[in-house]
Amino acid sequence: MAADENSGDQNDLIMLKDLVDELYNFRDTYFETHSVDNAQKKQSDVAQEIEKTLKRLQEYEDRCKHKAEFLLLKGRCLNVAPDFSDIAEECLSQVVKLEPTLVEGWNILGEQYWKKGNLSGAKNCFTVALQKSKNKVSLRNLSMVLRQLPSASNESHNKQVMESVDLARQAVQLDVTDGESWYTLGNAYVSLFFCSGQNPQFSQQAFSSYAQSEKVDKAASSYPELHFNRANLFQYEEMFSSALEGYSRAALLDPNWDDPPEREKLLLEYLEKTTELIQNKGKVKARRLRTMLSNLNTSALGPCSSSEFRSPSGRVGSLEPRTLSALSHGNNVGVAALGKVVFSLASEGRMAFTFGMVDSEESCLVVMVYNTADTWGALIGDTIVIPEPHIKRHSITHKDKSFDFKSIRVDSPLLLIVNGKKQKIQSQIAVSVSSKPQCE
CA distance 235 to 258: 18
Q: What is the pLDDT of residues 23-77, one digit of tens each?
A: 999 999 999 889 998 899 999 999 999 999 999 988 887 777 788 999 999 999 9
pLDDT at 7: 60
**185 within some domain:** no
Q: Quick check: 342 and 357 in contact, CB under 8 A?
A: yes
**437 within some domain:** no
Q: What is the pTM of this model?
A: 0.89
**68 within some domain:** yes
Mark which of 112, 133, 154 sits at the end of a domain: 133
Mark which of 81, 104, 133 sits at the end of a domain: 133
pLDDT at 195: 86
**209 within some domain:** no
Q: Residue 296 sits in which domain range?
A: 282-425
CA distances, 292 to each of 221, 341, 408 (Å): 52, 9, 21
383 phi/psi in degrees, rounded to 5: -95, 125
How many structural domains comprise the chain? 2
Q: What is the CATH number of the domain that holds 353?
A: 2.40.50.550
pLDDT at 336: 96
* Below-50 pLDDT ranges, the chain: 1-4, 439-440
**187 within some domain:** no
pLDDT at 431: 63
CA distances, 411 to each of 303, 312, 408, 429 (Å): 19, 10, 10, 11
Mark which of 111, 133, 155 sits at the end of a domain: 133
Q: What is the CATH number of the domain that holds 24?
A: 1.25.40.10
**212 within some domain:** no
**161 within some domain:** no
